[in-house]
A and B are shown apart, each in its own frame.
Chain A
Amino acid sequence: MFLEWPAPLPDGGTSMEMAVSTARKANPYLLIIPPLFDEANRMRAQLVLMMRTLQDLGVTSVMPDLPGTNESLQPQAAQTLSAWRAAVISATEHFGVSRALFVRSACALGTGAVPAFHYASHDPAKLLRAMVRAQSLAEKEAGNHRSPSEILDGARASGGTIAGWQIGPAMAQQLCETQTDQSDGVTPIAQEEIGGRALWLSSEGGIDEKQAKALAAVVAKEAGAL
């Protein structure tokens, strides 16, 4: 079902954002934070399938929108990784979850507030590198070519559109610099453990029941449901 939750904004305000949840009464067990930017769209259907699979095993979960993502009406250009990390802490408290699952580049939003799974952790700088490359190639096709480094320098100085996403200067800077914390309380999950195609890499994304079951099983085992 769909819920609303109060997400903190970079300017100190609050925005009501959507969340999809499988918890009816008690607090959901697991908070799911999807990957950043395009990979979020590619993985959304798969993550919802994984939530249903988990529900069948008796484990509830919630996947909230962060400001400027998915259905949010907040401007993308105003968002930063640090503001999203604050929103993740808020969501952790608001929903009262016991565990968190960060997917790909979202692992950089790990807060340590609750024990977390880092699934196929990916450096935000590498994600930005691919986005900047895509922007450069698209501009080349359009006959208005900037090199990837020119695009990146421009984004860090004054922000810009990169591969269809409005990236502010602070976000560009943070994407370049933020290291994913793999320390205490983090259980890494490699794609090799889950098996199958890396669904976040193709523009079509797609769903894979076997992968959903494998990922749900890792979480359910931790929750004591298996």
Chain B
Amino acid sequence: MTPMLIEALREPRSVSGLPPPALAVLVAQARTTNLLAALGHRLEAAGILEGILPEAGRHFRSAMLAQEKQQRDLAHELSPLVRVFDALGEPLVLLKGAAYIAAGLDCSRGRLISDLDLLVREAAIDRAEQALQSAGWEGVKQEAYDDRYYRRWMHEIPPLVHRSRGSVLDVHHTILPPTAGPRVPAERLFERLQPIAPGIHGLATEDMILHSAAHLFFESEFPHALRDLWDQRCLLLQFSEQIPDFWDRLAVRAGEMDLETPLWLSLRYVEMHFAITPPPDVLDRLRPRASVPRSMWWDFLFRRIFRPDHPSARLRFHATAEQLLFLRGHALRMPPWLLLPHLARKGFRRLAPANEGA
């Protein structure tokens, strides 16, 4: 059975007839996946929110207010960044959630962000790090091992935290770790940047979608998987309506960026969950030459991951799928001989005393 949340996102009218206990479960599913505010906006746009049971309506509106606060904070965070990058002579490039919000895309309605991700040319990354440090963003203290790990094997420098505001910046120089399978030519991302707000750039439309798909299928952030799939759905829907030859351009760009497989997976699961159907020939062009058992294996994993982690929605082997995908995410991001020591260290640190305060 399709979880109520996915049903509600796809068809807001499905919410109207729900009895109070089921509405409460819907709210819990949405809260668990960080989609409560987004679903609130979807219901509002469909004219459903107004007439919903007040006990449920107040939770949607509360989450929408909290998300508005985050949008205001983001705007406040961006103005000093605009000045830093202006002085640096480099474009300020936002990625993912922050870019969607700054550009005011449809998927930004109710979109919560957990990090502020920037893309900087690899050649400029040291200067950018210095300029950000002078403007108050400091490297988080961490073990030398982690620092080396980030710089050498990831596509980013260790996170920077603002001294007084506590905001966190993730500065990347490409959109996938250099060790991941696809070889994304980062310099080509910079050729097609687009202005999305005064002093702020985003990736080109197609690159934005490809990045979101690559992130979804290559990085191990599964608590956000359904939220990321919803981003994909909204991006695909908005741009396929606005841009002529959109699907074609997207497929061509996926080839140039070596990201055909994540795009194919994304289109497959967006269609499965949200009934957005790309032209069949586009799907055929992207389809990896994987054997049928391999795509059945993917389905086994991803169909679990795209369900809210709530007893009302979980399938059997949810935890197993999560663990397998966690390992797969790590395996894709680094060579096997690095994977073992890294996971071992993570494991050891988890055994160290956690904070005890309640």
Same assembly = no
Binding site for B on A (CB under 8 A): none
